[in-house]
Amino acid sequence: MHKLARPTLFSFAALIIAVLLSIGVGSVAIPPKEALEVLWNTLEGTAPTSDTNHTYQIILLTLRLPRTILMIMTGAALAGSGCAYQGLFQNPLADPYLIGAASGAGLGAVFSLTLGWPASPLSYLTVPMSAFIGALLTVFLVFQLAKVKKTLPVTNLILAGVAVSSFVTALTSFLLINASGELRRAVVWLLGGSTMAGWKPVLGQLPYMLIGLIGLSAYAYKLNVLQFGDEQALQLGINVNRARTRIVVFATLSTAAAVAFTGVIGFVGLIIPHILRRVTGGDMRHLLPFSMIGGAIFLVLADVTARVIVAPQELPVGIITSLCGAPFFLFILRRSKEKD
Partner 1 sequence: MQLRVSIDQAGYDQSAIIRNIHFTLQEGQLLAVIGPNGSGKTTLIRAISQVLPYGEGQYYINGTNLMEANENSRARLMAVVPQSTYVPPSFLVREVVLMGRTPYMNWNGKASRVDEKFVQEAMDQTDVKQFENQLCGELSAGERQRVILARALAQNTPVLLMDEPTSHLDLRYQIEFLELTRTLGLNNGKTVLVAMHDLNLAARFGDVFLAMKNGTTSAYGSVRDVLLPEKLSEIYGLAVRVINLPDGGSTVVIPQ
Interface residues with partner 1 (CB under 8 A) are 90, 148-151, 218, 220-222, 224-225, 227-232, 234-240, 277, 281-283, 285
Distance in Å, CB of 73 to partner 1, minimum:
24
Nearer to partner 1, 210 or 234 (CB): 234
Alpha-carbon span 67 to 14, nearest angstrom:
18
Nearer to partner 1, 217 or 254 (CB): 217
Distance in Å, CB of 219 to partner 1, minimum:
8
Of the candidates 100, 38, 98, the one whose C-alpha atom is nearest the C-alpha of residue 64 is 38
User: Quick check: 113 and 124 in contact, CB under 8 A?
Assistant: no
Nearer to partner 1, 259 or 288 (CB): 288
Nearer to partner 1, 181 or 229 (CB): 229
User: Coil, helix or strand for 151?
Assistant: strand
DSSP per-residue string spanning 219-230: THHHHHHHTT-H
Nearer to partner 1, 222 or 307 (CB): 222
Distance in Å, CB of 338 to partner 1, minimum:
16
Using the CB atoms, write b or e for 94-108: b if 16+ within 10 Å. Answer: bbbbbbbbbbbbbbb
Where do the H-state alpha helices sit in 148-198? 154-178, 183-190
Distance in Å, CB of 98 to partner 1, minimum:
19
In DSSP terms, 148 is beta-bridged to 151
Distance in Å, CB of 292 to partner 1, minimum:
17
